[in-house]
Amino acid sequence: MTMDATSQRFLMCRPTYFAVDYAINPWMDPTAPVDTALAIRQWEQLRRTYLDLGHTVELIDPVAGLPDMVFAANGGTVIGDRAMAVQFRDPQRADEAPAYRAWFEAAGFEVYDPKHVNEGEGDVLLVGDHLLAGTGFRTAHASHAQLQEVFGHPVVTLQLVDPRFYHLDTALTVLDERTVAYLPEAFSPGSRAVLRRLFPDAVHATMADAEVLGLNAVGDGRHVVLPAQATGLAAKLRDRGYQTIGVDLSELRKAGGGPKCCTLRLRQGKASQ
């Protein structure tokens, strides 16, 4: 099976001010020690991995007092020359939204403001011509209609049911334009049925791999960058012909984040309008 890698353009934010000062998801424990220097080294390894694969990495300046700004995937949704800005559910992250919006504007994107809670690529993933849109914990269902209007792609709503997998990108990863991997137990029965219908050849992850955020992965069509601890999922992906690259983001996982959380795609695709 021959697979072609597509060169990607990513936006990332150095975890200069990373900390776990509050708890807005089940992964976060403000009483547990956090090694910011280690988080930075792990993040740098992720960035170098992308560069070694031939991808482009752009950087947004971190802002003091915003420890979760490293999770750039939540900063917006970008397709073609359009960017949907974000509105966070939790006040602790609210000030990240204007920082990312300003970056999009300075980079020349046509920026749209959200009408409802919308946490960017954490809950919005493009697969082929469809936008998969998660809801249940963060992004409001009402935001899905606006995504369709802005980008002109059919939107498929997926209901998340496990608070540990609070964003879609913790429960499902896009491998290429036709294939995904996901944890069935993270979705409602109806959403599982939709996923089976849309992706009959999907890779099903185990709970053990999902619990180390193995599905918070980044694929380019050939390579999949995923947490090093997700060994079972990596083996399944290699069996399907993908090349896997494990990275250790264990320090960032203390805030509920992995490779995809740290990575916003600046898409080469086009908004359809």
Per-residue pLDDT at 273 exceeds 70:
no
**Secondary structure (DSSP) of 221-254:** SSEEEEETT-HHHHHHHHHTTPEEEEE--TTGGG
Q: In sequence order, which residues have a C-beta less than 8 Å from that of residue 239 and are 6 or more positions away?
A: none
Instruction: Provide, rounded to the nearest whole percent, the portion of the chain with pLDDT above 70.
Output: 97
Which of 55, 144, 261, 262 is labelled catalytic? 261
Confidence category of residue 72, pLDDT binned at 50, 70, 90? very high
Closest among 111, 50, 48, 44 to 75, alpha carbons compared: 111
Per-residue pLDDT at 2 exceeds 60:
no
Which of 167, 204, 223, 262 is labelled catalytic? 167
Q: What is the CATH number of domain 9-265?
A: 3.75.10.10
Which tokens hold the place of 3? Answer: 């697979």
Confidence category of residue 271, pLDDT binned at 50, 70, 90? low
Per-residue pLDDT at 60 exceeds 90:
yes
Q: What is the pLDDT of residue 269?
A: 60
Q: What is the pLDDT of residue 1?
A: 44
Q: Is 141 a catalytic residue?
A: no
Q: Is 261 a catalytic residue?
A: yes
Alpha helices by DSSP H, the chain: 36-52, 96-106, 143-151, 189-198, 207-210, 231-239
What does the domain layout of the chain look like in residue ranges?
A: 9-265
More confident position, 267 or 39: 39
Q: pLDDT averaged over the chain?
A: 96
